[in-house]
Amino acid sequence: MAGKLSDYSQANWSAVCRCVGLEVYGEAQKVAATPPAHPLVIQRFFRLPIALIDAVVDFNRRHSQACIEKTQAFPGIDLPDPWAKDAEDALRAEVTAVLKRLSGLVRQHWALPEHLVAVCADNAAQELQQQIGIEYEVGRDAFWHALRGMS
């Protein structure tokens, strides 16, 4: 059982983003304390927000399951869409904010050319945004398929 729908409120979604965002930042501080020995360290550093994406996708999957269970118990009830476009946009904004904080750490701790920091951050941002799009499309498809199967 996925739990009650109230477990998946906007406040709980925001709490997941806040907590995992802080975890990512804490991990980034540890990594930033030592100058990078290899360029791959910089790339991996900027990909740390994947943990935020994974946490939100997990939250949405559990929310989807709770919606499906509620629909089974109460057919025809109007439920939120855990994979809505505004939720996807909100996750994109959260990831962008975390990346900005990580860029600040790099500038503060590592003596790297500004253009290198910008390129690495932009490359990671593009990859992470693509991952969000993929995860939300897969999530929407699975959720809508499950709901259609109940009709």
Residue 57 φ/ψ, nearest 5 degrees = -60, -40
Count of residues making up the chain: 151
> Of 12, 95, 16, whose CA–CA distance to 49 is shortest?
95
Mean confidence (pLDDT) of the chain:
94
Q: Is the pLDDT of residue 151 over 70?
A: no
Cβ(46)–Cβ(123) below 8 Å: yes
User: What's the pLDDT tens digit per position in 35-75?
Assistant: 998 888 999 999 999 999 999 999 999 999 999 999 988 88
Compute, in degrees rounded to 10, the torsion defined by CA atoms 9, 10, 13, 17: -160
DSSP 38: S
pLDDT for 81: 93
Q: What contacts 85, CB < 8 A, 6 or more positions away?
A: none
Question: Which are the contacts of 29, defined by CB distance < 8 A and separation ≥ 6?
Answer: 105
Whole-model pTM: value is 0.93
pLDDT digits (tens, 9 = 90+) for 65-113: 999 999 988 888 888 899 999 999 999 999 999 999 999 999 999 988 9
Query: pLDDT category, 13, cuts 50, 70, 90?
Result: very high
Residue 141 has pLDDT above 80, yes or no: yes
